[in-house]
Copies of this chain bind each other. A is one copy, B any other.
Amino acid sequence: MAFELYYWDGIQGRGEFIRLALELAGADYVDVTREPHRGTDEMMQIINSSSEAHIPFAPPFLKDDGQIVSHVANILFYLGPKLRLAPESDELRWFANGLQLTLTDFVAEVHDTHHPIATSKYYEDQKEEAKARSLEFVKNRLPKFLGYFERVLKQNPAHAGYLVGHDLTYVDLSMFQVIEGLIYAFPKAMSHYEIRYAGLAQLHGLVKSKSTIAAYLASPRRLAFNENGIFRRYAELDIEP
């Protein structure tokens, strides 16, 4: 049975971390809200259900043969072994999940650069605060996170160019997506990033050149970044660090 992915239509958003794993593995999956005879209503019915035992708080969530799994890191922890995108050993799987949760925090901070006060309000209503938060982000947080992942790459005893162990895992795909998003949203802060973070730049190129990933990125299933998503390009937030 096909995996069913539930996420908002129209944006890459957090759903993209799951899509990249499913696409690389060539898995059979349905992107429910984008299906012609299904859609967002079906997703909202699950979220708002008053009978479902395992209601998710928010998308993305995955349905696999009756099991509902919610939150990006949880879905990838669950899917990883099934898609052969998890490390072999338990020890490395716990490490991979820790890295994925650090990426989760990083992505939440990217979101808050344009919504520092209220998710329920428009960006335009919190523009000044967004500038202040973006300054903090490009000056302190972005280098802290990227510097950390660069160290993880360098200190991986396997020295294979991946974040965990000898082979590509779902964490590498998520790292690729975060770098793609940062280049889109903060081109100034990311200019020449490949000099400071040579390992990450190499990993990014490596993922991009995988044939199934290249095919996916060129397909209509890969939506473009846009200003409804997590990674947004606003000239006034693209601050020189």
Chain A residues at the B interface, C-beta cutoff of 8 Å: 49-57, 61, 67-71, 73-74, 77-78, 91, 94-95, 97-98, 101-102, 104-105, 108, 112, 116-121, 129, 132-133, 136, 140-141, 145, 148, 151-152, 155-157
Out of B50, B56, B94, B156, name the residue touching A155 (CB < 8 Å). Answer: B50
CB closest chain-B residue, reference A131: B117
The answer to whether B157 and A140 have CB atoms under 8 Å apart is no
The answer to whether B55 and A152 have CB atoms under 8 Å apart is yes
Assembly CA distance A57 to B104 (angstroms): 12
Out of B49, B56, B94, name the residue touching A98 (CB < 8 Å). Answer: B56
Minimal beta-carbon separation of A140 from chain B (angstroms): 5
Out of B67, B91, B118, name the residue touching A91 (CB < 8 Å). Answer: B67
The answer to whether B120 and A54 have CB atoms under 8 Å apart is no
The answer to whether A55 and B94 have CB atoms under 8 Å apart is no
Assembly CA distance A136 to B116 (angstroms): 11
Given the known interface contacts A57-B102, A105-B108, the answer about A94 and B116 at a Cβ–Cβ threshold of 8 Å is: no
CB closest chain-B residue, reference A70: B98
Residues of B within 8 A of A67 (CB): 91, 94
The answer to whether A74 and B102 have CB atoms under 8 Å apart is no
Tell me the number of copies of this protein: 2
6 cross-chain pairs, A with B, having the tightest CB-CB distances, nearest first: A118-B136, A71-B101, A70-B98, A57-B102, A54-B95, A117-B132
The answer to whether A117 and B129 have CB atoms under 8 Å apart is yes
Assembly CA distance A151 to B133 (angstroms): 34
What would 14 more interface pairs be, CB under 8 Å, given A116-B133, A119-B140?
Answer: A50-B155, A51-B155, A55-B148, A57-B105, A67-B94, A69-B94, A69-B98, A74-B94, A77-B97, A101-B104, A112-B112, A119-B141, A120-B136, A129-B129
The answer to whether B94 and A78 have CB atoms under 8 Å apart is yes
The answer to whether B52 and A155 have CB atoms under 8 Å apart is yes
Assembly CA distance A152 to B133 (angstroms): 34
Residues of B within 8 A of A94 (CB): 67, 69, 74, 78
Minimal beta-carbon separation of A197 from chain B (angstroms): 15
Given the known interface contacts A77-B97, A136-B118, the answer about A102 and B55 at a Cβ–Cβ threshold of 8 Å is: no
CB closest chain-B residue, reference A57: B102
The answer to whether A140 and B120 have CB atoms under 8 Å apart is yes
Given the known interface contacts A97-B74, A102-B57, the answer about A50 and B116 at a Cβ–Cβ threshold of 8 Å is: no
